Structure formats: structure tokens, C-alpha cells
């Protein structure tokens, strides 16, 4: 008796039978069940339709069966299946998306109240909402924390969040004096797995891997970089020539509270190792004795650096009317790793050609001629290096599209 081909499992994985092969076997089975000599060559007959339904059902079941092993493979699991693998390590969870936060300064008449929920827009029309009820004091100003209404890597350079969406009597103007704390998207499949791998070393002590694993595991931390100087003299590293004192470590962390990051470093660094950076935090000692003095932990809070793009698109019929927006969105999503590949990171390299695929994958008949990158809109390169004390920021306004 004829049988339907089955999924074959081997050391290399699962091999699924072709749908056409399943269909042919189903037709033969139907013929045998009905006594033989039925027409199995003409399309559109009842037996053809019956065999097609069987082939579709079997193929779908085979695909689900082949999918199951990937749900327990840390390198391939996605979504809730990956979350389940993470839960094997107590407390290991996917990091949720976070919105950009910025401190806004309101200027106006003393006594004027700025209510919570006041919306201020930036030059790119991103909207930021104040969080508290604030009153302008006798100096004529008040500082208020505002949170972007969208999550993700939305930059807020100084003096860009300045547009009052509705008038407030007594308020003259508003601005952000400093760069905002940039948010981030929900942790991707690849980022989750890389962090899970790094977390394996967090149970150790005295190595860069253990420091990275511990700091990266902090809920609000988006990126970590670490280096070490084994020499007895000062060395410099990276594009910005960050100096490292003799026999010291350098840790750059984006996100998390200062105390959380400093405590993780204290718990994992070698005793006596020097530290470098722009942030110093006093952390309680580890002995538990009240007489033990606190320890000063030094690390780096990386400064934001804007990345500029110049993308040349071949001008031909059929290009979408929203070409600029489509290309800009593709680059921004890819820079955050939302295309399944590596995102831009502290101390990393930005390669222009890396963005060819996500742009052309939009399915909009867009063909990229060149994609170059730079730190301003004057000089572009095939690739650039980010300093170990910098974190890259990509914004719509810094992506130029040129038709050639």
C-alpha cells in the first residue's frame, strides 16, 4: 500500500518531503481506496481537489513538526519560545522598549503652572509629554522631565525639543539644554541571545566577560563595552583615543542607574584594578561592616554621536512616492538591529554597505547605488569607527537621499 512521505530526521536536522511528492502519493492512495483506474491526470476533478487538500494539510503538519526543534535551540528560538529558554536562568527576561527622556526648561512668568501631560514637539515632530505638575519660580524658569510618546532610539540633541503644541498662558518658550537620555526598542531575538551568552560569564569574577555579563544583565542597560590595560603605562584605545591608566579597566555602559552599574562593576572587577571614565559613584563596601568605607567606582557614560548617511538611489520608473521616508525608516530600523542583524554599538564600526540589504528588502523596487556614512553632512566615508566612549544615534534628519 502506498504511504504518504514522512519527515526525515537526521544529525543535520529535518528533511521535509516536497508538497508535489505528497500530492502524488495522496492521489495514488485515493486511487487505491476507490478500487483503481480513476483519472489521476486531469486537474479540477474531485480526486484532484481531495489530494490537494491532503497535501496542504500534511505539508503544514510537517512544517510545524520541523519547527518544534528550533523552539528549544537558543540560537534559533524566537518570541515566547526564546523567553522560555531565558527563564532557565532565574530572572533573565527580555528587556522591554523604553522611550527617550529629556529635561525641558520652561521660561515665563513666575507662578505660571505647567501641567502634567503638556506636549512639546521636536524639529522632527516627535512629541514629548511632561510628567509632573511644575511651577515657574522667581527666576522665570522651571525644569521638567518629559518622556517621548514613542519608544525607541529617538534622539533629542540640545535645543531641538522647543515647539509648544498648544499655548500655555504665562509660558514664553521652552527648550532642552542638554541631550536627552535616548530610549531603545524591545530587545530583539539576536540581542536577547547575545546577552544570554554574555550572562554565562556573570557568575565569574575578575574578567572582562564577567563584568560585561553583570552590567548587561541590568534591566535598563542597552549597551556595554569593556577593555583592559595590562601594561604599566598609559595606553589609548578606539577612535577617540580614550586613555587607560596602567593596570586598569574601562567600562562604558548605556542605560541603567549609576548605582546599579557601579555595583555590578564592584562585584566583578579584580581587587586593586584601576578604573577609567567620566562617572564616579560611591558604592558601599562588600564586607558588611559599618566601619568599612565606601568604594569609588569609575566608569564611562558614553556621549551620543550623530551618524549621517548619504544614500544614492538609481532613478528609474516605479519608485514609490514615499521614497525618502521608506529609506530613512529602513536605515533607522537596521541601525537598531530590527532587521535581525547586528545593531550599531559603542565602539563599533558603521559600514555603509551594511544598509543595502534592508533598504532593498522593502520591496519597493529601490536599487541602491552607494551608501556612505559620516559624522557630519560634509564628509562621507565607506565606513567609520565609533569611539569606545560614544554611542551612535541615527535620526531621520541626518539621512540624505539622492537620485542618480
**Could you read off the pLDDT of 82-139 as tens digits, one per residue?**
998 888 876 788 999 999 999 999 999 999 999 999 999 998 899 999 999 999 999 9
Q: Are 59 and 26 in contact (CB under 8 A)?
A: no
Q: Give the span between the Cα atoms of 115 and 379, in whole angstroms.
A: 44
For the record, the C-alpha cell of 180 comes out as 536627552
b/e code 301-328 from CB counts within 10 Å (16+ = b)? bbebbbbbbbbebeeeeebeeebeebbb
DSSP element (H, E) containing 19: helix 19-33
Q: How confident is the model at residue 274 (pLDDT cuts 50, 70, 90)?
A: very high
**Could you give the percent of the chain with pLDDT greater than 90?**
66
Q: Give the span between the Cα atoms of 226 and 385, in whole angstroms.
A: 16
pLDDT over threshold 80, residue 291: no
Concatenating the DSSP letter of every residue in 288-357 gives: --TTSPPEEEEEB-PEEEE-EEEEEE---TT--TTHHHHHHHHHHHHHTTTTSSPPP-TT-EEEGGGGHH
pLDDT of 379 reads 96
**Could you read off the pLDDT of 11-61 as tens digits, one per residue?**
888 889 999 999 999 988 898 888 888 887 878 888 889 999 999 999 999
SS3 label, residue 222: strand
pLDDT of 88 reads 82
pLDDT over threshold 70, residue 287: no
Q: Give the span between the Cα atoms of 177 and 102, in whole angstroms.
A: 9
**Could you read off the pLDDT of 331-386 as tens digits, one per residue?**
999 999 988 889 999 999 999 999 999 999 988 889 999 999 999 999 999 999 99
Contacts of 340 (CB under 8 A, 6+ apart): 188, 189, 190
Predicted model pTM: 0.79
pLDDT over threshold 90, residue 66: no
Q: How confident is the model at residue 4 (pLDDT cuts 50, 70, 90)?
A: confident
Q: Give the span between the Cα atoms of 263 and 285, in whole angstroms.
A: 10
**Could you read off the pLDDT of 261-271 as tens digits, one per residue?**
999 999 999 88
Q: Are 293 and 285 in contact (CB under 8 A)?
A: yes
Q: Give the span between the Cα atoms of 304 and 346, in whole angstroms.
A: 10
What's the average model confidence in pLDDT over 266-291?
Answer: 86
pLDDT over threshold 80, residue 2: no
Q: Are 301 and 280 in contact (CB under 8 A)?
A: no
pLDDT over threshold 70, residue 1: no
Q: Are 253 and 260 in contact (CB under 8 A)?
A: no
Secondary structure of 134-179 in the HEC alphabet?
Answer: EECCCCCEEEEEEEEEEECCCCCCCCCEEEECCCCCCEEEEECCCC
Amino acid at each position: 500500500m502506498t504511504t504518504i512521505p514522512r519527515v526525515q530526521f537526521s544529525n543535520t536536522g529535518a528533511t521535509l518531503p516536497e508538497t508535489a511528492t505528497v500530492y502524488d502519493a495522496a492521489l495514488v492512495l485515493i486511487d487505491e481506496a476507490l478500487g483503481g483506474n480513476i483519472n489521476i491526470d486531469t486537474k479540477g476533478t474531485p480526486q484532484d481537489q481531495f489530494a490537494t487538500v491532503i497535501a496542504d494539510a500534511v505539508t503544514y503538519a510537517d512544517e510545524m513538526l520541523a519547527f518544534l526543534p528550533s523552539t528549544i535551540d537558543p540560537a534559533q528560538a524566537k518570541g515566547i519560545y526564546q523567553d522560555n529558554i531565558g527563564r532557565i536562568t532565574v530572572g533573565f527576561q527580555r528587556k522591554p522598549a523604553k522611550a527617550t527622556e529629556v529635561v525641558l526648561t520652561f521660561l515665563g512668568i513666575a507662578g505660571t503652572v505647567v501641567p502634567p501631560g503638556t506636549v512639546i514637539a521636536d524639529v522632527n515632530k516627535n512629541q514629548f509629554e511632561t510628567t509632573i505638575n511644575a511651577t515657574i519660580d522667581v527666576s522665570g524658569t522651571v525644569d521638567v522631565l518629559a518622556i517621548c510618546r514613542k519608544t525607541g532610539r529617538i534622539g533629542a540633541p540640545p535645543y531641538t525639543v522647543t515647539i509648544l503644541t498648544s499655548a500655555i498662558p504665562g509660558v514664553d518658550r521652552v527648550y532642552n539644554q542638554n541631550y536627552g537620555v535616548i530610549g531603545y526598542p524591545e530587545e530583539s531575538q539576536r540581542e536577547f541571545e547575545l546577552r544570554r551568552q554574555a550572562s554565562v560569564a556573570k557568575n565569574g569574577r575578575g574578567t572582562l566577560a564577567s563584568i560585561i555579563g553583570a552590567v548587561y544583565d541590568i534591566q535598563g542597560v542597552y549597551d556595554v563595552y569593556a577593555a583592559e590595560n595590562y601594561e604599566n603605562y598609559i595606553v589609548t584605545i578606539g577612535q577617540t583615543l580614550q586613555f587607560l591608566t596602567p593596570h586598569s579597566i574601562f567600562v562604558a555602559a548605556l542605560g541603567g542607574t549609576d548605582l546599579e552599574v557601579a555595583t555590578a562593576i564592584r562585584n566583578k572587577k579584580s581587587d586593586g584594578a584601576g578604573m577609567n571614565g567620566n562617572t564616579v559613584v560611591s558604592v558601599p563596601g562588600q564586607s558588611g561592616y559599618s566601619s568599612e568605607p565606601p568604594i569609588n567606582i569609575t566608569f564611562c557614560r558614553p556621549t551620543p554621536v550623530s551618524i549621517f548617511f548619504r544614500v544614492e538611489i538609481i532613478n528609474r520608473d516605479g519608485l514609490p512616492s514615499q521614497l525618502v521616508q521608506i529609506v530613512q525608516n529602513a536605515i533607522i530600523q537596521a541601525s537598531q538591529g530590527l532587521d535581525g542583524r547586528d545593531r550599531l554599538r559603542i565602539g563599533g564600526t558603521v559600514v555603509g554597505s551594511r544598509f543595502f540589504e534592508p533598504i532593498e528588502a522593502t520591496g519597493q523596487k529601490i536599487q541602491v547605488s552607494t551608501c556612505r556614512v559620516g559624522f557630519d553632512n560634509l564628509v562621507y566615508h565607506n565606513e567609520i569607527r565609533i569611539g569606545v566612549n560614544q554611542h551612535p544615534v541615527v535620526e531621520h534628519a541626518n539621512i540624505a537621499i539622492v537620485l542618480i
